[in-house]
Structure 1
Amino acid sequence: MVIDYKKIDLFGRSFIQKVVLKPPFEFAFPVSEQACFLYMLAGEMQYQFDDEHINIPTNYSLFLNCIHSGSRIHNSDLNTNGEIVIVTFHPDILKKIYERELPLLLQQPRNAISNLASERINNDFLIQKYIEGLLFYFENPSLINDDILILKLKEIILLLSQTRNAETIQVVLSQLFSPATYTFKQIIEANLFLQVGVEDLARKTNLSVSSFKREFAKLYNDTPANYIKTQRLEKAADLLLASDNRITDIAFECGFNDLANFTKSFHDKYGATPTQYRLNQNTK
């Protein structure tokens, strides 16, 4: 239940909201062309998409693209009111304030093939101070004008670009300007030889791990771990014969980040170490 609600508009559109919710509460995100930054000022919320839940404790935040939404948040602490500050990003307003060129965070990342639609941001001191600054304007609404709000919008974009989550936030936010929905297979094939795991691939497809595994089994008739390892080993075998690259470099290029694990996996499949395999094949 909402027990307090305040809102600040920019160019006639909702920009900043402060909501105090009494548990139990639940909010479903509509599918719309906007993105939201939700900061947990007090209490704790749980973000649910598909059959997966992510806890957002106090001073943590969630960045969400509502184009691929249908997700929801609800409280996970029944004893404490939830206080949430929401900053909304409208693509038309962002284009208006960045007339010459969109900042890097809003541009389509190079070689990024992902349907990722959300990202949890850990406790960040600068973002915490930014939120404290927004609260000042809720307490002093007479000081608000469009110029100040434009600066605050640009400030949060700058802060988000400096967080450890900047790369994934860019994927989520850039979809407002270059919307693209990739097929499941496109995402798998594009990331097959990168150093990503099953959980990373699930996030890129915007699915929970369990749903990702079910979808993967339908399409490939195999488990993700086995299929990915097989493809990586087969590529490594080809590179051992087609190039003089170091074995360490080949392992890295094929998605392995541990040489000992690569050597063991290769031996299990081909009955020889990478070095032996290269020598044996070259002497035939």
Structure 2
Amino acid sequence: MILDHKKYDLFGKTLIQKMVLKPPFKFTFPVTDNACFIYILEGEMQYQVDDEQIDISNKHSLFLNCINSGKQISNSNSSNNNELVVVNFHPSILKKIYDKELPLLLQSPKNKISNKSIERINNDFLIQKYVEGLLFYFDNPSLVNEDILILKLKEIVILLLQTQNVEAIQVILSQLFSQTTYTFKQIIEAHLFSQLSIEELAEQNNLSVSSFKREFAKLYNDTPANYIKTKKLEKAAELLSVSDERITDIAFNCGFNNVSNFTRSFNEKYNISPTKYRLSKNDK
């Protein structure tokens, strides 16, 4: 369950987040074209990607891209709350703030060591101090502005350049700027919770609408509209169970264009309203 969630946006996209999570919890990262730096302030978590599990302890961090699906953080053992800070690296924002030339960390390495997409970063004094600085701004939101957020993003780029993990981090970040060829499924998963139409999804896959629907049926044994709506509703049900977000916000975050449409669809699937569903989960 999410006990507390604060975030700051830059140029319309989430840049920095601070979350307090109550175990047991499980969070699956959506497929997106960004990377993120996760720092564990309190507690410990397990990071699962495919069949591999990585334990992340207090004051340690993880760096990963979200181009591929299957990544998940969880904690089912601890009785103490977990607290973490997340910094997102969006390629469009990085290009905008480094308008002349991307720094070394964001350029493709000459000797590419692997195609790895995750790297655990051990306790680093400078990064720890950086996170402490972020906490100051979460405690003093009136001081936060666009210039401060750009400065903090550039600061973490500089600090990551100085860690022992720089080569792996460079590989992960460079993937955001490479000409990646996405599979059909990756494109679908990347836009599950968006408000893109079937026509726009077909265009993303360079297919006609009829060809897109045929390919979708082959892979998912369902229609695009039904499959995507089902996934949106399942995600909404999960958020209603574990977070205190407003139902309106959950509806839009899960890709519904209005609350009445969300409520009607939720009732049809679960035979209960979103409000009553949340209450039933909180009573357990």
Shorter-chain-normalised TM-score: which range?
Answer: 0.5 to 0.7
Q: Which runs of 4+ in 1 moved over 2 A?
A: none
Once the two structures are superposed, the pairs formed by residues 12-27 of structure 1 within 5 Å of their partners are 12-27=12-27
- Establish whether residue 56 from structure 1 lines up as the match of residue 77 from structure 2: no
Asked whether the equivalents of residues 61 and 122 of structure 2 are also in contact (C-alpha less than 8 Å), the reply is: yes
Provide structure 2 residue ranges, at least 5 long, that are not aligned to the other structure: 182-284
Give 1:115-126 correspondences, 5 Å limit: 115-126=115-126
Deviations 1:192-226 (A, max 9, x none): xxxxxxxxxxxxxxxxxxxxxxxxxxxxxxxxxxx
Cα distance, 1:77 vs. partner? Answer: 4.0
CA–CA distance in structure 2, aligned partners of residues 136 and 8 of structure 1: 13
- The separation in 2 between residues aligned to 1:44 and 1:136, in whole angstroms, is 22
State the one-letter code of the partner of 2:14: S
For 1:178, give the aligned amino acid: S
The Cα of 1:12 is off from its aligned counterpart by 1.4
Shift, 1:69, TM fit = 3.4
1:40 aligns with 2:40: yes
For 1:263, the equivalent position in structure 2 comes to none
Distance in 1 (CA, whole Å) between partners of 2:158 and 2:15 is 17
Note the 1:47-196 alignment, pairs <5 A.
47-75=47-75, 77-112=77-112, 114-180=114-180
What SS is found at the alignment partner of 2:3?
Answer: strand
The answer to whether the 8 A contact 1:44-1:77 is kept is no
| In 2: Cα distance, 1:169 partner to 1:113 partner | 11
Deviation string, structure 1 residues 68-103 (Cα, Å, up to 9, x no partner): 232101015422111010000100000000000000
Q: 1:77 to 1:132 in 2, by over 3 A?
A: farther
**What's the CA shift for 1:50?**
1.5
- Deviation string 1:16-69 (CA, Å, 9 cap, x unpaired) is 000000000110011110001000000000101121110000000000100123
Task: Provide the rounded CA distance (Å) in 1 between the counterparts of 2:143 and 2:11.
Answer: 16
Whichever residue aligns with residue 67 of structure 1, its letter is I
Q: Distance in 1 between matches of 2:18 and 2:32?
A: 20
Q: Give secondary structure in 2 for the equivalent of 1:111.
A: coil
Is the CA contact 2:113–2:167 (under 8 Å) kept in the aligned structure 1? no
AA of the residue aligned to 1:148: I
Aligned length: 182
- Partner SS for 2:96: helix
What is the CA–CA distance in structure 2 between the aligned matches of 1:76 and 1:7, rounded to whole Å? 25
SS of 1:62's partner is: strand
Once the two structures are superposed, the pairs formed by residues 260-275 of structure 1 within 5 Å of their partners are: none
Distance between the aligned counterparts of 1:111 and 1:50, measured in 2?
26
TM-score, with structure 1 as normaliser = 0.62
Identity %: 69
Task: Give the superposition deviation at 1:111.
Answer: 3.1
* 2:45–2:56 CA contact under 8 A, matched in 1: yes
Contact 2:16 2:87 in 1 (8 A): yes
Rounded to whole Å, the distance in 2 between the matches of 1:66 and 1:157 is: 18
